[in-house]
Structures are given as C-alpha cells and as structure tokens.
A and B are shown apart, each in its own frame.
Chain A
C-alpha cells in the first residue's frame, strides 16, 4: 500500500472491512479461486473478524483496521460497497472517491495528499535488458 507508506507521516489511514464483494455463495470471481481467496458471505460478526484477520496477515497490512457491524452501519453511512475511499479533514468530507470497482481511483486520493503535502516520486523500475543485445 504505497500511498500509506508515502503519506503516513502526514495523514492517518483507516481501512474498513465491509460485506464481501465476491464470496463463494454469491458472485464468485475466477481470479479469487486462482488466488485462493474463497470465502462465503459472513453471516456473523465473528466470521467477518476471521476473514479480516486473514487479509491482514496475508498481506501484512499496515493500516488501522475496523470491521463493519452486521447491520452494515458504516457501509450505509458512506455508501461504501464494494470499495470506496474518503478523506476526512476536521470532521468534514474533504474527498469523496467514486464507487468501486469502475470508479475506484486511489490515485485521486494520492493527488489530494500530494497537493497538500507534496508529491512523492518513485524511481521507475529498471528496464529489462534488450534481448537483441545479449
């Protein structure tokens, strides 16, 4: 999560786990089978906690983490499902991202942070050697 690494000294980050988007008992994606991310839609809060912990452990996920209740209160308040980004400043919405997946653009949140705290540039990956010259 590069945006977190780049701006954690300036902003706080909170990831909120909401209801699953592609569980095995609903609209499962082939890519999830391939990557062994196969979970049924949680029916209890304990099941949500277990999946969220699996996610954090697998990716060594660094940010603060919260899990939405089975009432989906956070999801409903922020129209968050399936994925969405907001930035809150002084208690108010400062940036509202689009609904995922089609309008989910983390680069917009990065631009907001970059406008405030400066752009963090990364070296482009080294080009692969040209086979013709080998």
Chain B
C-alpha cells in the first residue's frame, strides 16, 4: 500500500514539474516561477462594485506624489499595473 501511495506522490510531483515547465518554457523557467513568481502572485479580494483602494504613488520626477483616488473623477480611470521586464 505504501508503495502505491509513494508512486502516486512521485507521479503528482512529476506532473506538476512537467506542467510548470510547459507553462514557463522549461525546467529553469519552472524553477523561476516557483522561486520568484508564485510567492508574489495573489488573486486579491477586490470585486467589481467594491470601493477602489487608494495608494500613494511617486511621480516620474522622483519627488512629487499622486494618489489613485485623486485621479478618479467624472471619467473612468483605466489603471495599468506592470513593470519593464
């Protein structure tokens, strides 16, 4: 019985590694995804209709600040989050 449980566990791990490798473009990508990406990826709890949270952001000049809520006026505000790399 233990042998079967061990075999199933090994197969599940192997399947997860293969699946992640396919998604991430190789075994190195799978490692990168597990090590660096998954800890920072969160689905979040915001839903359509919720109040939009505020946050203070630094402007490109490196000194002035803006707030997300300040930017929400009569017109819809499209917010695109991302990075360069």
> Could you tell me which A residues sit within 8 Å of B by CB distance?
3-4, 7, 10-23, 26-29, 32, 37-39, 45-46, 48-49, 51-56, 63-69, 73-75, 77-96, 99-100, 102, 109, 113, 116
A11 in contact with B79 given A37-B85, A79-B42, A99-B41 (CB within 8 Å):
no
Residues in B lying within 8 Å of A, measured CB to CB: 23, 29, 32-33, 35-37, 40-60, 62, 66, 68-69, 71-73, 75-85
Known contacts: A22-B85, A64-B71, A82-B37. The answer to whether A16 contacts B80 by CB under 8 A is yes
Q: What residues of chain B lie closer than 8 Å to A79, measured between beta carbons? A: 42-46
Q: How far is the CA of A10 from the CA of B76 in the complex (A)?
A: 8
A94 interface neighbour in B37, B41, B76, B83, Cβ under 8 Å: B76
Contact B69 A73, beta carbon cutoff 8 Å: no
Does more than half of chain A's interface fall in helix, strand or loop, or is it mixed?
Answer: mixed
Question: Contact at B50–A92, with CB atoms within 8 Å?
Answer: yes
| Pair A19/B72 contact, Cβ less than 8 Å | no
Question: How far is B69's CA from A71's CA once the two chains are assembled, in angstroms?
Answer: 18
Q: For A68, list chain B residues within 8 Å (CB).
A: 55, 57
| Chain A CB within 10 A, most for which of B44, B60, B73 | B60
Can you name 5 A-B residue pairings with CB atoms under 8 Å? A27-B33, A78-B79, A81-B41, A86-B46, A89-B76
- Residue of B44, B47, B69 most packed against chain A (CB within 10 A): B44
